[in-house]
């Protein structure tokens, strides 16, 4: 098992803003979620913070993650971004701050922004640090830099159509947690006949099967949902046990179908 197990599952908040994210976080916390995943780019940190305060859940029971966008990686800008996030959330400390994407074209040297991020940890502004969308080579580079030894996770896209096996196994071998974003492939899992058949056999949904398959790989999932019923079923998916044969059938769905591939993305591992 990895060094720091992030709470499983987490609640993703991408594309959710204002009252929508407040309602989503509120219902998730009521259901028992304790891991909330946000980012500066989502423009919802203040709303998430408001939902946390209104929930009455003790701060020390929560695990709150945010991410620094790639245009704020120069050390001074990164330091300011961390302070801005704390102000947005209305929190004195975050649990995890991630580099959202590696610097495009290495415009900002990785050593600079990893050191600046770790300095935020040393100041007590975050308990942990991590990265997102880093390739095998970038993970190795980051772990070898001053401050890099404190990286606890790489948050990457993982779902049945993009198993991302090489990168997942590399991170886990290095002692890092892997956090899976877009674990439902933006809803595509709901229409897959293989997942549907396995779901029917267990009397669950294809989404639950997809989440259980990821969790069985010792990966943290952060599905996004505004529907309390779906949030509940996502939580219950953590108790679903798939057979080796079912897992093998889902493994065969991998086709490198990447949903998040912006122009500034790194050169992905095959």
Catalytic residue positions, numbered: 42
Q: Which residues pair with 246 in a beta bridge?
A: none
| 128 in a labelled binding site | no
In angstroms, what CA-CA distances link 162 with 14, 39, 180, 198? 19, 23, 11, 18
In what side-by-side order are the strands of the sheet with 11-12? 11-12, 35-37, 63-68, 94-99, 126-132, 151-157, 177-181, 220-221
d(CA 222, CA 134): 18
Contact between residue 13 and residue 25 where contact means Cβ atoms under 8 Å apart? yes
- Binding-site positions for substrate: 100
- Binding-site positions: 100
């Amino acid at each position: 098992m990895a060094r720091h197990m992030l709470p499983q599952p987490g609640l993703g908040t991408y594309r959710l803003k204002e009252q929508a994210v407040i309602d989503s976080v509120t219902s998730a916390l009521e259901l028992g979620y304790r891991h909330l995943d946000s980012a500066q780019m989502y423009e919802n940190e203040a709303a998430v913070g408001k939902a946390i305060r209104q929930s009455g859940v003790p701060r020390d029971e929560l695990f709150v993650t945010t991410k620094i966008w790639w245009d704020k990686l120069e050390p001074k800008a990164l330091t300011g971004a961390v302070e801005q996030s704390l102000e947005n959330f209305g929190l004195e400390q975050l649990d995890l701050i991630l580099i959202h994407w590696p610097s495009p074209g290495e415009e900002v040297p990785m050593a600079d922004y990893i050191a600046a991020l770790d300095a935020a940890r040393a100041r007590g502004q975050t308990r942990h640090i991590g990265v997102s969308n880093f390739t095998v080579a970038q993970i190795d580079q980051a772990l070898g830099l001053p401050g890099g030894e404190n990286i606890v996770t790489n948050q990457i896209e993982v779902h049945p159509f993009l198993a991302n096996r090489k990168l997942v196994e590399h991170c886990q071998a290095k002692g890092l947690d892997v956090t899976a974003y877009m674990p439902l492939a933006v809803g595509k899992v709901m229409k897959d006949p293989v997942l549907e058949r396995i779901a029917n056999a267990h009397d669950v949904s294809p989404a639950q099967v997809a989440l259980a398959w990821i969790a069985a790989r010792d990966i943290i999932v952060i599905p996004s949902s505004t529907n309390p019923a779906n949030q509940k079923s996502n939580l219950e998916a953590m108790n679903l046990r798939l057979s080796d044969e079912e897992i093998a059938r889902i493994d065969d769905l991998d086709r490198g179908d990447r949903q998040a591939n912006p122009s500034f993305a790194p050169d992905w591992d095959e």
